[in-house]
Each structure stands twice: as C-alpha cells, then as structure tokens.
Amino acid sequence: MTTHFPFDNSYATLPERFFTRQSPAAVAAPKLIAANRPLADRLGLTLAADDEALARIFAGNEMPEGAAPLAQVYAGHQFGGWSPQLGDGRAVMIGEVVAPDGARFDIQLKGAGRTPYSRMGDGRAWLGPVLREYIVSEAMAALGIPTTRALAAVETGEIVLREGRMPGAVFTRVASSHIRVGTFQFFAARDDTEALQALLDHTIARHYPEADGPTGLLKSVVAAQAKLIAAWMGVGFIHGVMNTDNMTLSGETIDYGPCALMDAYHPETVFSSIDQFGRYAYANQPQIGAWNLAQLATSLLPLMPDRDAAIESFTEIVNGFAGRFDDAWHHVLRAKLGLATEEEEDVSLAFDLLNRMAQGGADFTRTFRALSSATPEDAAEAFEAPAAFTPWFEAYKTRLTRETRPVAERVTAMQAANPALIPRNHRVEEAIQAAVQGDYAPFHRLNDALADPFTDRPEIEDLQQPPTETERVRQTFCGT
Ligand code: AMP
Ligand code: MG
C-alpha cells in the first residue's frame, strides 16, 4: 500500500498574500519515531506499511500526491508586545484533507525548514519539543479537550543548534485549521479589508457555518475559548505562551511549546522559562483569553459598517467572556466534585478546596482522583498536612447527603471527570532525555498509557505518581 492523503486544499485558493508557497526542505536521514495510525484512520489517510517510506513523507522529503505546501503568514501580540509580521517560520502546511465524516483538517510539518517568515530562526525543531507536543497534544485529546493532534514524528538525522547540539526532528500536526487571532490581526493592521473579508468568509464556512458575519464569528469564538480554557484548568494545564498568534479561531489548543500540567496545585504556577512575570500563569489564563479576544474584536471592526456601534456591541461580547468562562469553569468544578444537583454554595465549596490545596501543597490530579473513589477520605494523603483537608471534607460529605444520584453512579461519573493519569512534566522530560540517548521505550510507554487516562491499573502506577523533590521539573523551555 502506498501512502495516500485525500487532499482538498482550500486555504491555498485564498489570495496569494495569505501565504507563501513553500516546499519543506529535505532532511539528511529521515527515521520514523511514531506514526499515529488510529488518527490516520480517523482522517481517512492510507499510510504505507513501510516505515522508511513513511519517514520520507513525514520528514518532508517526499510530498504525497495532491499536496499544496505553503507557509501561512500572520501577526500577533507576543507577551503583550505587537509583532506586525510572524508566520510559519519553521512549519509548512502540506495541505488539507477531508475525513470520511466530512470534517476538514490541515496537515502541517513542523520543523520543515526555513520559510520567508523564519526571521533569524533556522526553521528546524529539535527532538525535545517534538516529543513534548506529541505526548501532550495526544494526552489532551484523550482527556477530551479540543486540541490539535499528533500524526507523526521523525528524526532528521541532522543536528540542530540550541543550548547544545541537539538531534533534529519533524512533527506532523493535524488541526481543524491553523487560523489564529493573529491571522486576522495581520490583515487588519494593513487595512486590507478585502483580505479580512475573505478570511472571515473562509473561517465562518469552515468552523461556524451558522455564524452571522463578524459579530456571529466573534460570539462563537468567545464561547469556544471560554469552554476551552475552562477545560484546560480542569486538568491543571498551563499553556505557557498564550500569544494571540497561538490562539485559534476553531477553539482548539495549539502550540505546545513550554506548556505543562501542574502537579501540586497553585494558581500562580508558571513553567515557561521565558514567562518572567507570570503573564501566562495558570490562573491568569481566562483573563488573557479575554484580552486576546479583544484583539480579535478590534481586527474585525473594519468589516463593520458602523464602527461606533460595532465597538459598543463587540465590547459587550468580549466582556461576556468572563461570565461564559465562569459558567464553564463552574460546570467543570461541579463535575470534578460529582455534584449532579446545583446549589448556590457549590462554587465556594470548590474554591475552598482549591485554596486548601494551594496552601497544603496538594497534588491537583491525585486529590480529585482520590475524591472519585469509594474511599474519598484518602484525598487527605495528597496534603502535606491532612488537617487542612479534614474540615473541608466534612462540609463536602454534608453536601453529598443532598445528592440524589446513587453513590456508585456518582463515583463512575467522577472517574470520567478526574483523570487517573496526566502527562506529568517529569515523565515527559524523562521520555525526552531517554530519546536523546536513542531509547524510545519511555516515550512509547507514556504515550500508550496516556491513551486511556481515566482508568486506574497497576501497570501505570509509577506514571501516576507526582514527582519527588529531585524529580520535579521547574522550568520548561520554548519549542524553538
Ligand atoms: P512560537 O513562540 O512557537 O509560537 O513561535 C513564534 C514565531 O517564531 C512563529 O512565527 C514561529 O514560526 C517562529 N519560530 C519559532 N521557532 C523558529 C525556528 N526555529 N525557525 C524559524 N522560525 C521560528
Ligand atoms: Mg506559535
């Protein structure tokens, strides 16, 4: 069987100023690390059985028939500062496929060589960020969180210069599109209303066919991002670089650079080495989401006939993000606590637990998973001083007496809302370190385990454990 992708390239039919046609630069010695065959099936791709043939495709050395490779241009606010021109500096979108169910997906090679948007960069990626994105994006998908996906990873056989001489790699990303807030910003900043209109039409047709014009699109994206960020927070995910060029219109998580899931709960947690002031800390994510959406709103203004009226209505829509986020977040928290009925005090009960967890250094995942068992009192073990947990637990037990759902049903529902396994940062690092030494066993083991994150089983016990003091990873570096 030869590799076949059912290409149907729509972005490539947009005006030429949306992108640069660009083929990936061939690499020296492509070697397959992983190909995600279940995802390939879902997309309707046919993958060659031969790893060498696949490696050539996923390295960009050979293009499948029907590909229309291009690098997209965009702009963006990075850490609040405006960059008028960014773009795929180390990525090439090779085309779009339409899956058997009619859903459309971009296929992009990340680390595919220099493009006109590379600026000072080499257009390459090293193995570390490639494996991190593979593991974490697939884990997020298994956790039920909207995200781009990992189709493949290959070694290039070339050296990439970073903190040292690192092995090069290429990552194949699948996304329902790569349209970013920064894509709209790019054309708005150039007063290119014609391009903005084309981008709007393309985005609406692709993601929100029911949306009515710029206002409808803005409302839809506000709703999607509110749900997405609440879902992130429900698993302790910290994106790390919520720049406007890393926020999608589709509502999918994108750009797994210095991201990580936290172990011990603390709202101010930051992992990214470049986030000195904690702009993108765990608890800041909803506010940053709203800020980014305000940039989207600003970019859509040129498409509105009455600017003053549009400013007023867009402000109201963006201000509505906070309420939508709160609703989504409270929904997540209720599910995590197993509360099927709704009471006024539920949210403060949840926040009280989070505060105690922050003070007591409690592991986020372990606390909620223990609560989701037949012996919820075991959650005390996640706290440095269980005394901090006990009074909360008494209040929780009282609250549970007012639940009408049978206990067994509640426990089952809670276990589907509180994962047994997350991609713990020290395990991700360990998999990367081993891979750099040529040992991919930890990477494959971690990936396989994370495909089923809601079931306890003895063989994953070590992967469930929080890091010891010496294992803890304090900083995560950008994906460059
Ligand atoms: P990121 O922070 O990963 O979202 O990337 C920000 C910008 O830098 C994007 O325009 C990237 O394409 C570009 N970039 C990051 N790494 C590289 C690289 N190694 N070579 C060229 N461009 C890069
Ligand atoms: Mg980016």
Q: What pLDDT sits at residue 475? A: 80
Nearest in space to 251 (alpha carbons), one of 231, 274, 221: 221
Integer Rg of the chain from CA: 23
Q: What residues are neighbours of ligand 2 (ion), with CB under 5 Å?
A: 246, 255
Would you give the end-to-end CA distance of the chain in angstroms? Answer: 35
Token pair recorded at residue 110: 């990340």
Q: Is 180 helix (H, G, I), strand (E, B) or coil?
A: strand
| 178 Cα: distance to centroid of ligand 2 (angstroms) | 10
Q: What pLDDT sits at residue 480? A: 58
Nearest in space to 77 (alpha carbons), one of 312, 268, 289, 238: 289
CB atoms within 10 A of CB 451: 12
Cβ(100)–Cβ(111) below 8 Å: no
- At residue 279, what are phi and psi to the nearest 5 degrees? -55, -40
Q: Is the CB of 87 under 6 A from ligand 1?
A: yes
| 333 Cα: distance to centroid of ligand 2 (angstroms) | 30
DSSP code for 259: -
User: Under 8 Å CB-to-CB from 1, ≥6 apart: which residues?
Assistant: 46, 47, 48, 49
| 193 Cα: distance to centroid of ligand 1 (angstroms) | 27
Report DSSP letters for 105-165, one per residue: EEEEEET----TT-TTS-S-EEHHHHHHHHHHHHHHHHTT--B-EEEEEEEEEEEEESSSE
Cα-Cα-Cα-Cα dihedral sign, residues 11, 12, 18, 22: positive
Numbers of helices and strands, H then E, in the chain: 15, 11
Mutate to test the pocket of ligand 1, among 82, 85, 90, 478 (most ligand atoms within 8 A of CB): 90
Could you give the CA distance from residue 426 to residue 432 in angstroms, rounded to a whole number? 10
CA angle, residues 152, 125, 463, in degrees to nearest 5: 60
Q: What pLDDT sits at residue 1? A: 76
Could you give the CA distance from residue 136 to residue 140 in angstroms, rounded to a whole number? 6
Query: Which residue's CA is minimally distant from atom 14 of ligand 1?
Result: 89
Q: Is the CB of 110 under 6 A from ligand 1?
A: no
Each residue's pLDDT, cut to its tens digit, for the chain (480 residues) gives: 789 999 999 999 999 999 999 999 999 999 999 999 999 999 999 999 999 999 999 999 999 999 999 999 999 999 999 999 999 999 999 999 999 999 999 999 999 999 999 999 999 999 999 999 999 999 999 999 999 999 999 999 999 999 899 999 999 999 999 999 999 999 999 999 999 999 999 999 999 999 999 999 999 999 999 999 999 999 999 999 999 999 999 999 999 999 999 999 999 999 998 999 999 999 999 999 999 999 999 999 999 999 999 999 999 999 999 999 999 999 999 999 999 999 999 999 999 999 999 999 999 999 999 999 999 999 999 999 899 999 999 999 999 999 999 999 999 999 999 999 999 999 999 999 999 999 999 999 999 999 999 999 999 999 999 999 999 988 877 555
Residue pointed to by tokens 């660009």:
22
Q: Is the CB of 466 under 6 A from ligand 1?
A: no
Q: What pLDDT sits at residue 356? A: 98
- The ligand minimizing its distance to the Cα of 240 is 1
Q: Is the CB of 64 under 6 A from ligand 1?
A: no
